[in-house]
Amino acid sequence: MASAALQPPPARTAPHSAPHSAPPPVLREFSYWLHRYRRTWRGTVVISVANPLLFLAAIGAGLGKLVDHGGSGYLHGSSYVAFFAPGLLAAMAMQTGYIEAAGPVFQSARPQGNYRAAAATLMSPTDILGGHLLFMAFRLALSATAFTAVVAAFGITGPLRALLLVPAATLTGMAFCAPVAAWSVTVTRQARLNGVFRFVLMPLYMFSGTFFSTDQLPGWLHGVIACTPLYQGIALCRSIVAGTATAGGSALHTGYLAALVLLGYLAARRTFTRRLNG
């Protein structure tokens, strides 16, 4: 999945001048990425629907029944599939966010990349960053919508709660997108992108509560994991599905994730400016 997403996007030509009626630069950058996506959206939508469908069917008909039969106290009376689905949604948002922010940013910032063409116009590095982040948010929201539609179809949660899952998952993904974009624009070797995916994202995927409750882990390790954005995203999504969300808890999770988005954006403004103006 990671290697396929790291393919270079097609270069674009830089216009000599911008018409007076043109949309804001951020939206022009967003429209470029949206234009690229029109050629591949069918495949990504199929994956966004097929993956949760297969995962939830396998868990519901297989592993989930075994876990439910054992009556694990860590599930607090809910079924395993209802426990697993929001965790998988948040983990999917993390992976999608990383894939969208790592390879495309790395390739676009290279000497022949499309960031260079955009920077040769009236667009500033901040405009380029903002438009690309806007597209990443669009991709995350689209994937989250497809996933929650499958979750609602399985009867795991109601339509109203499913609607709340979309912004929760999108925010989780953006908490990875912004910091990763800030870093990947400075990367000079593609192997580093794959290394982070393998040695950082996959351990988070496995041990942040996607498949089992982190209460089962040693206390010190649980404390470390609780500081990760994926754990916060899973906790937010899971509380929505279970109907246990509180104002204080939701504000804590949301504030943590929003702070990462803001800090990542501020860092990315500096790294984009240094790279594209250097």
Percent of the chain with pLDDT over 70: 88
pLDDT tens digits, 186-203: 999 999 999 999 999 999
Evaluate if residue 20 carries a pLDDT over 60. no
As a whole number, mean pLDDT of residues 127-143 equals 97
Confidence (pLDDT) at 5: 46
Cβ neighbour number for residue 52 with a 10 Å cutoff: 23
Residue 176 CB contacts under 8 Å (≥ 6 apart), including other chains? 93, 94, 97, 98, 101, 229
User: Residue 267's pLDDT band (boundaries 50, 70, 90)?
Assistant: very high
Lowest mean pLDDT among 48-52, 163-167, 216-220: 48-52
d(CA 233, CA 90): 6
Q: Is the pLDDT of residue 107 over 60?
A: yes
Say if residues 243 and 91 touch (Cβ distance below 8 Å): no
Q: How far apart are CA 131 and CA 178, in angstroms?
A: 12
64 — pLDDT class (breaks 50, 70, 90): confident
pLDDT at 223 exceeding the cut of 60? yes
Closest CA to 132 of 91, 103, 110, 168: 103
Indicate the pTM of the whole model. Answer: 0.88
* Predicted pLDDT at 3: 44
- pLDDT classification of 11: cutoffs 50, 70, 90: low
